[in-house]
Each structure stands twice: as C-alpha cells, then as structure tokens.
Amino acid sequence: MNESAAPAPLFPKPLIAWLTVGILFMLYIRSLADRMLLALMVKPIKADLALTDLEISLLQGPAFALLYCLCAIPVGLLLDRSPRRWVLFGCIVVWSAGAAACGLAGSFFMLALARSMLGAGESGYTTGAYSIIGDSFPPERLSLAMSIFVMGGVMGAGIVFLLGGPLVEAVLGGAVAHWPGMSGFKPWQQVFIITGLPGIATALLVFLFPEPQRQKRAAAGGGGYGEALRFMMQHPRCYLGIILGIGLVYSVTIAQQSWAPSYLERIHGWTPKQIGLAMGAAQMLPALSLPLHGLAVDRLYRSGRKDAHLLWCLITMLIAAPFAVAAYLVATPAATVTLFGCYMLFILSTASMGPAATQVVTPPELRGRVSAIFVLVTGLIGMAFGTFLVGFFTDKVLGDPMKLGTSLILLIVIVLSCAALLFALGRPQMRQLAQN
C-alpha cells in the first residue's frame, strides 16, 4: 500500500460529496422500509398461509439474504468496472419490484421468491453506496460521512415501525379494500403493493449527483475476486474482525428488529399500531447518535489511534449488550422498548464502522470487490443467521412460542461474545494496515 508513486487523490467538492450522501441516505431509508415491513404482519401472514415461526424466520432471514449475498459478487465487479450510478439505478428498480411482488404471493414459496428479489436489489445498492462514498471523502473524514449514510438505513427501520404500524393497522382494517384492483388481495398483500410500487420511480434520484472519480493508485488492479481475497488473506485478523465481527453484531440487531414486534404482541398483547409507534421511536431517536459515533472515531483516528473503528465497536458493544438482555427480562412492554432503545443507542456504532473500516484498510482499486465481500458475508450472517436461530430456538429447542424472549437472550449472549473476541483480535492488524 505504498503511495509514494501515486498522484494525490482527487475528491469531489464538499458540497457535491454531501449532496451524494444525502441522496444515498434517502434511498437507504426506502430500502430498509421495504425490507422490514414484514415484521409488522407476522400474525396475519402466519394465519393466512399456515406458517410456523421457523418458516417466518426463513422469510425474514435466509429468503432475503440468499440473493442479497449472491448478487453482491457480480455487482462488486460491475461497480469496479462500470458507471456506478447506472448499477444503483438497476438495483433500486429490482428491489422495488420485489417489494411489490410480495403482495402478489399466495404461498410460502412465492413469498420467498419475492423476498429474494428484494434482497437481490438491495445488495447491489449498499455495495455501490459504500464504494461511491469511499471515493468521495478522505480517510480522516470518512467515518462521519459513512455514519450519516448508514443512519438512513437505521431510520428506515424506524420509519417502517413508526409510520408502518398505523398504516398496517389501517390497511388490515380495510382502508384500501375499495381501491381499484385491491379487492382481490388479502389485506397484508395490499400493504406490500401500495408501498412497493411507488419506489420504482425513486431510482431516478441517483442521477442527481455526479459519478465521483475513482481514487486509484499507481498500479491499480484489474483482476477478479482472487486479487481481493489474496489481499484480505494477508491480513486475516483485521478482516475477520471487520467483516465477521460486524456480521455477528448485525445478526443480533436484525433478529431483535424482526422478532421484538412478535414478542410484544405475544407476551404483552400490543397491537401493530402500538408496536409500530414504540419500536419506531426506539430506533429513530438512537439513529440520531450515528454522526456522534462517526465524529468520535474520526477524532480518535486523527489522534493516531489507527484501530479506532474496531476499538469503538468493542467498547460500545460491551455497553449495549446488558441492555439487550434486560429488555426480555422486565415485566412491562414500555420497559422492554426503552431498554431496546438503549441497546440501539450504543450498538449502532457498528452499523457505520464496518463499512468505514473496510474503506480505510482496503486499497482503492479493490474497494468495490472488498465492499461486495463485506456485503456478502455480513448480509448472510446478519440477515439469515440471527433471525433463523431465534425461530429455531423457539420451535425446536424450547418448543414454546411464548419463550420467544428466552430465544432472543440466548442469541444475544452467545453471538455478541464471539463478536467481542473478533474485534479485540483484529485491532493490531488494523493499526498496521491503516498506517501503511
């Protein structure tokens, strides 16, 4: 990573760079809203399609994650070799169509296919956004920019609960049944249709910002994934800490986002509207802390702590974990939601530190492919592993749907302990890479 023969990198003007982040931020909100809507309709979907908790967990996790992960690989190559805005345009069209297609599904298999299509589009979007932002800011300012972008994803999950809860309750109550063409669909199908179709038009927003110049070095690589994998294997502890460690944390957070609504409904008898408003606030407010995490890490990095990203993830995760466990031990739903919000306040540091750390330690000519590997692994672990384990624990280990809280606690303790170890082991190699 010696840059002595490389020209000084050229970054966009700050106004253009932040315009880019703002547009990508808004589109990220849409993607997470489409992804998380299913969590508010578990009960009617289970009843209509005669599904178990394990099957619901497959829809929320593996069905989405399969193509999310597989499509990240070819999209990563496209992003390193093609105009990235056009790649993002196609991805947004695909995920929006997949979201609407969920409303046409009448079986577990068809709903799984639609969720896979949604995942295929979203994988390319996040990979492309990481690459574009990585080429728009110098390393010492990247964490803040990445934190604000990732805040869009967290806010998207919050918005789907905050606004989606009342919307779902209204549609399930027949609010749009009289609309043209809606009478032939179940209420939960109507929700997917009216929220998914308008998203296709938002794909045009990617042409409102210019394509940033790729920050290539003197000997830019043009090979396939072998080149990227060889570089990563030369620094295994660093990349295991960043990619596997972050993926494990994602799995715990996404599992709670997916299953906490069912927990509140089963254990405390809350309605979708109550769940949506409470869970939305519990995620929207902590999301505002993401720029603070970015500022803190940028300051640590400038002070000479080149492992600042993994160090901050380790500290904040150790603070967050007890709140998550306590959320499923308290007696009232308000206390559960409050403790979940406290967990999110600290754990959200990992949402932006993973992508930012990947850009910092990876040569620019490899960033598209390494970002794709990041999305592949974190997506597979984050979206498939945690949600599946909760359903598996509940159905196959505990054998009681009312022990959903115990399943969540088991996941939190086991998985976050492994993530803490990976963060600690990855710090020395991250210092070495970031200083080169």
Contact present, 151 and 287 (Cβ < 8 Å): yes
From 191, 196, 214, select the one nearest 92 (Cα to Cα): 196
| pLDDT at residue 82, rounded to an integer | 80
Q: Which residue has the higher pLDDT, 436 or 46?
A: 46
What's the pLDDT at 4? 46
Give the global pTM.
Answer: 0.70
Whole-number pLDDT of residue 436: 60
pLDDT at 333 (0 to 100) = 93
Q: Check if the beta carbon of residue 241 is closer than 8 Å to that of residue 28.
A: no
- Checking if the pLDDT of 3 tops 50, the result is no
Give the least confident one: 38-52, 91-105, 365-379. 365-379
Chain segment 168-227, per-residue pLDDT in tens? 888 888 788 888 888 888 888 888 888 888 888 888 898 988 888 776 543 344 557 788
Q: What is the pLDDT of residue 8?
A: 55
User: For position 219, what pLDDT does the model report?
Assistant: 39
Q: Identify the H or E element spanning 158.
A: helix 139-162
Does position 301 have pLDDT exceeding 70, yes or no?
Answer: yes
Asked if residues 81 and 52 have their Cβ atoms less than 8 Å apart, the reply is: no
The fraction of the chain above a pLDDT of 90, given in percent, is 23
Tokens of 276: 């949506």
Cβ 197 vs Cβ 181: under 8 Å: no
User: Residue 5: is its pLDDT beyond 50?
Assistant: no
- Could you say which DSSP state residue 82 is in? S
Enter the tokens of residue 355: 């992508």
Can you tell me the distance from the alpha carbon of 370 to that of 376, in angstroms, rounded to the nearest whole number? 10
Q: What is the pLDDT of residue 423?
A: 95
Scanning 51-107, the segments in alpha helix (DSSP H) are 53-60, 62-70, 72-81, 84-101
Residue 49 has phi, psi (to 5 degrees) of: -100, 5
> Which whole number is the average pLDDT over 354-360?
83
Q: Any idea which of 66-70, 321-325, 416-420 has the lowest mean pLDDT?
A: 66-70
Q: Which residue has the higher pLDDT, 412 or 1?
A: 412
How far is it, in rounded angstroms, from Cα 430 to Cα 435?
Answer: 8
145-173 pLDDT, tens digit per residue, is 877 887 777 777 777 777 777 888 888 88
CA distance 38 to 218: 47
The single residue listed with the structure tokens 């009232």 is 332
Average pLDDT over residues 372-401: 84
Question: Among all chains, which residue has been given the structure tokens 């940033």?
Answer: 212
Give the mean pLDDT of 307-320. 93
pLDDT at 312: 93
Tell me, what's the pLDDT at 9?
Answer: 60
